Amino acid sequence: MKKYYSLLILLGIFVILFPSLQEKFYDWQQDRVMNNLQSDLSKLNYSFEQAMSDTRSPDPAIEEERIPNVDSGALGVIVIDKIDVQLPILEDATEANMKVSATHLVETAPIGSEGNAAIAAHRAHKKGRLFNRLGELEIGDQIDVTLADQTQIRYNIDRISVVEPTDLSVLEDPHLGQVLTLITCDPLINPTHRLIVRAVADTTDARDRDLS
């Protein structure tokens, strides 16, 4: 009988403490996610800084030859018809990847899933290369992504902003479904900020539709 009462007391204490313990667990998870995002953003900023300090001018033809396609391990291809962008998407915003493609920030949501998938690319000085013309986009413009498994997703731009390089909020989930966030330097010359173009997946049609 004494053991029974002891068990009831322990159970009561657990019930009382459970909300507090649950809150601490959620806080720990949130801190872990934010730390991962901070690490991803730091890597991205480093890649941007390295590009700005690199004064070499490689032959554009050589650069084009190095651009991988979906068959070579890319996650997919991003197409923005309005600004003549068609780029492979590679995993991880490393310095090497960002020289030749758009890159997916590894700690953000997978492209095509619920959450915020962030894609970054340099803003090359050569007109039309990489995200050079991203500043020409407007709210309502469309972005198309074809994944390696041929899944096609169309996104509609709903927000454009310029933020500080350390602004983590652009990587957080706005809870709008499938979100795509494009990131590049701003302004084009001697950049000090980041141009952010956010788009939300178009759910009015089937996900695997013909985008032609």
Positions annotated as catalytic residues are 122, 185
Nearest to 194 by CA among 160, 163, 158: 163
Q: How far is CA 203 from CA 65, 139, 141, 156, 199, in A?
A: 36, 17, 15, 10, 12
In angstroms, what CA-CA distances link 199 with 51, 91, 186? 26, 19, 19
Who's near 14: CB < 8 A, 6+ residues apart?
Answer: none
Report the alpha-carbon distance of residue 9 to residue 13 in Å, rounded.
Answer: 6
